[in-house]
Amino acid sequence: MNPPALEITALIDRFLNYLLVEKGLSQATLESYSRDLLRFADFIDRNDCRVVSEEDATLLLKHLIQLRNEGLGARSRARHLVALRGFYRFLVQEKLLALDPAKLLDLPKTMLRLPDVLGVEEVRCLLNSPDASSPKGIRDSAMLEVLYAAGLRVSELVRLKIQDVHLDAGFVRVFGKGSKERIVPIGQYAREKILFYLEHGRGLLVREHASPYLFVARAGRPMTRQAFWKRLRQYAAKAGLVKAVTPHSLRHSFASHLLEGGADLRAVQIMLGHADISTTQIYTHVTKDRLKELHRKFHPRG
């Protein structure tokens, strides 16, 4: 069933009247709800949308990201989320919507305590900072590119094996928390960096030692998470970044840049490995080909 077209400002008035008459909220609380909801209404209007629907999860998340980018603190964003969840819950209660899209945003620790997210230009400076004339620099350049291209956890990055990288098909196979497997697309930049590393860097690092790992340190062993963190901090300083940059910063930047570009929330969650797609029905319609197309279309370096 397609959701009806519901004009938001009229619905906000209806919701505030419900809070006043049936819930008996104070004038100060009503004014707070009104400010937050009208700010959301202005946001969706600027995104060429004047109505609410059951498909608003991505729009809601983009709004919260925009609030963060505007410098709004975590507590203020939490207050906005409370107002939005109450509003959409009211619409379902009144049978104006069959499904509540705000339920997908019930992630306060993840959503409201993000580390510093890098801008696209900051990411570009960081990815260009390794010295590509040395084997270690070539390796590090490829590692940074893959970390951002696929939104990996640092533990997933250092454990990546050669057999899990499919350059022709444009994806990597990742084993995340609980050994759960997922397929993540990588773009042209990452494929080229990996290929260059395999041809000009890895052999000089692994030497006579056999190793199944893609990114190697001494004697063919995988790089440790601590060693990568240290090198990442050095590259962030070299790139002139003043933000506290961690591997998770790049993972959050990956997700934020995709969502800000218009990617579907559920597809991004799959790429991040936040959901088990083999058992979660809501995600089963998203195919690997669709994920690859979304990544190519929306990722800044796809």
Sign of the CA dihedral running 126, 224, 161, 269: negative
Quote the pLDDT of residue 167: 93
Active-site residue identified among 77, 153, 182, 202 = 153
pLDDT in tens, 18-62: 888 777 777 888 898 999 999 999 998 887 777 788 888 888 888
Active-site residue identified among 79, 161, 173, 274 = 274
Please provide the CATH number assigned to the domain covering 6-112: 1.10.150.130
Average pLDDT over residues 221-235: 90
- Catalytic-residue membership of 113: no
pLDDT in tens, 162-214: 999 999 999 999 887 767 788 889 989 999 999 999 999 999 998 888 899 99
Confidence band of 4 (pLDDT split at 50, 70, 90): very low
Share of the chain above pLDDT 90, in %: 35
Active-site residue identified among 251, 252, 292, 299 = 251
pTM of the predicted protein model: 0.60
Quote the pLDDT of residue 90: 92
Active-site residue identified among 35, 113, 177, 218 = 177
Identify the CATH assignment for 120-298 out of 2.60.40.10, 3.40.630.30, 1.10.443.10, 3.40.50.2300: 1.10.443.10
Quote the pLDDT of residue 250: 87
- Catalytic-residue membership of 285: no
Cα 186 from Cα 301, distance rounded (Å): 9
Active-site residue identified among 18, 189, 283, 288 = 283
Quote the pLDDT of residue 298: 75
- Catalytic-residue membership of 46: no
Phi/psi of residue 140, each to 5°? -65, -35
CA 203 to chain centre: 33
Domain ranges of the chain: 6-112, 120-298
Quote the pLDDT of residue 22: 76
Cα 184 from Cα 198, distance rounded (Å): 20
CB atoms closer than 10 angstroms to residue 89: 15
Average pLDDT over residues 101-118: 60
- Catalytic-residue membership of 166: no
Cα 9 from Cα 153, distance rounded (Å): 41
Confidence band of 15 (pLDDT split at 50, 70, 90): very high
- Catalytic-residue membership of 283: yes
- Catalytic-residue membership of 274: yes
Active-site residue identified among 35, 207, 248, 297 = 248
